[in-house]
Amino acid sequence: MRIAALRGRETLEVEEAPVPSIEPDEVLVRVVASGVCASELEPWLTGPPVGEVRYPGHEVSGVVVEIGAEVTVPAVGDRVGVWVTERGFAEYVAVRAAYCFPAGDGRLDEALAEPIACSVNALEAADVRLGDDVVIIGAGFMGNLVQKLAALRGPRHLIVADARADALERAVRLGATRTVDVTKESLPEVVRSLTGGRGADITFECTGTQRALTVCGDTTRMSGTITIVGFHQGADRTIPLAYWNWMAFRVVNAHFRDVAVIMRGMSVGMRLLAGGVLSMDGLVSHRFPLEEINTAFATLREKPDGFVKAVVTFPEP
Task: Write out pLDDT tens, residues 273-316.
Answer: 999 999 999 999 999 999 999 999 999 999 999 999 999 999 87
- For residues 77 and 80, give the distance between their C-alpha atoms in angstroms, rounded to a whole number: 9
Q: What pLDDT shows up at residue 316? A: 73
- Assess whether the previous peptide bond of 18 is cis (omega < 30° from 0): no
- For residues 216 and 299, give the distance between their C-alpha atoms in angstroms, rounded to a whole number: 28
Domain 2-112+284-313 is classified in which CATH homologous superfamily? Medium-chain alcohol dehydrogenases, catalytic domain (3.90.180.10)
Q: What pLDDT shows up at residue 233? A: 83
- For residues 10 and 295, give the distance between their C-alpha atoms in angstroms, rounded to a whole number: 9
Q: Angle, nearest 10°, between helix axes 165-173 and 141-151?
A: 20
* The CATH number of domain 122-253, selected from 3.40.50.720, 3.40.50.150, 3.30.420.40, 3.40.50.12280: 3.40.50.720
For the chain, give every domain's residue range: 2-112+284-313, 122-253
Q: Mean pLDDT for each 10-residue chunk of the chain (317 residues)?
A: 97 98 98 96 94 96 98 98 97 98 95 97 98 98 98 98 97 98 98 98 96 96 98 91 97 96 97 97 97 98 96 88
